[in-house]
Amino acid sequence: MEVDGINVARRKKGASDTGEYVLRLTTCGDRKSKNEGVSQGIFAPEYATAETNYLSRALLAWLIIKSEESPYCENSFDNLKQILINSDILSDENLSNNHILHNGITCCPLCLKTINYSELHEMISYEGADALANSSEQIAGSTRATKINLFHITPLCYESLEHKPSRIAWGHAICNTVLGQRFCVSLKDIIENGYKINLLSGKKLWVNENENFMRSEQGEVWIKISD
């Protein structure tokens, strides 16, 4: 940032943003606003390399194209697709096994429900979320939070930086909140490293080796939230 042509480290009255920085655009409500600044609380992208951030944005853009009822045609983005292929990010092992895509459509890695393009722009609502029943309803224009958020399959911790293109996706904000700082374990990982439970109803459940994450073959999820 600069004030009268002099570089400053902190924002102050009269400062202008220059160079590369994060820009957030609020699209909710009647009052559109622009919020600029060098540090906006997104510590993972701030401390990742430029290449990591570029490829992460590239994958998120691709997943928008692949969302349900997307207005975009995949064939119009061959350059983007080739960049991701060359970086080995579009492999089935990464996207399908981690539930980033399901049957070729973007989905939430936790609940496995497909993500509709419109949800990327809709304001978050806690209606129907039993675990968050006491959360207040959001007022239009009072929040930038949308129904769909950046979703880290491996939790972000201060001792490690897991903001990697192969470990990010789009996911429901509510699923993100419920999961918290826990690994989002795929069904494939649980089958390979966990064990199976056969219920009297005939349903099969798979439990991971730490016994804190359980999935059904249909993708239903149970998470242990306390020790």
Greater model confidence, 61 or 11: 61
Taking only the tens place, the pLDDT of each residue in 102-117 is 999 999 999 999 999 9
Instruction: Tell me the β-bridge partners of 149.
Output: 171
The whole-angstrom separation of Cα 21 and Cα 136 is 32
The whole-angstrom separation of Cα 132 and Cα 174 is 8
Taking only the tens place, the pLDDT of each residue in 15-35 is 776 666 555 555 555 666 665
The pLDDT confidence band at residue 138, using thresholds 50, 70 and 90, is very low
In this predicted structure, the answer to whether residue 55 has a pLDDT above a threshold of 60 is yes
**pLDDT at residue 118 in the model:** 93
How do the residues of the chain divide into helix, strand and coil, expressed in percent and rounded to 5?
A: 25, 25, 50
Greater model confidence, 163 or 57: 57
Range 212-219, long-range pairs (CB < 8 A, 24+ positions) = 212/182, 213/182, 213/183, 213/185, 214/190, 215/185, 215/187, 215/190, 217/187, 219/99, 219/111, 219/112, 219/187
Cβ atoms within 10 Å of 11's Cβ, excluding its own: 14
The pLDDT confidence band at residue 190, using thresholds 50, 70 and 90, is very high
In this predicted structure, the answer to whether residue 59 has a pLDDT above a threshold of 90 is yes
**pLDDT at residue 5 in the model:** 75
**pLDDT at residue 39 in the model:** 46
Taking only the tens place, the pLDDT of each residue in 114-129 is 999 999 988 877 665 5
Roughly what angle, to the nearest 10 degrees, separates helices 78-86 and 50-65? 130
The whole-angstrom separation of Cα 162 and Cα 44 is 8
Instruction: Tell me the β-bridge partners of 168.
Output: 152
**pLDDT at residue 50 in the model:** 85
In the 3-class helix/strand/coil scheme, how is 93-118 assigned residue by residue?
HHHCCCCCEECCEEECCCCCCECEHH
In this predicted structure, the answer to whether residue 205 has a pLDDT above a threshold of 80 is yes
**pLDDT at residue 200 in the model:** 82
The whole-angstrom separation of Cα 1 and Cα 23 is 14
Terminal alpha carbon distance of the chain: 47
**pLDDT at residue 142 in the model:** 46
Domains of the chain by residue range: 1-40, 43-181, 185-227
- Residue 54's nearest CA partner among 134, 168, 194 is 168
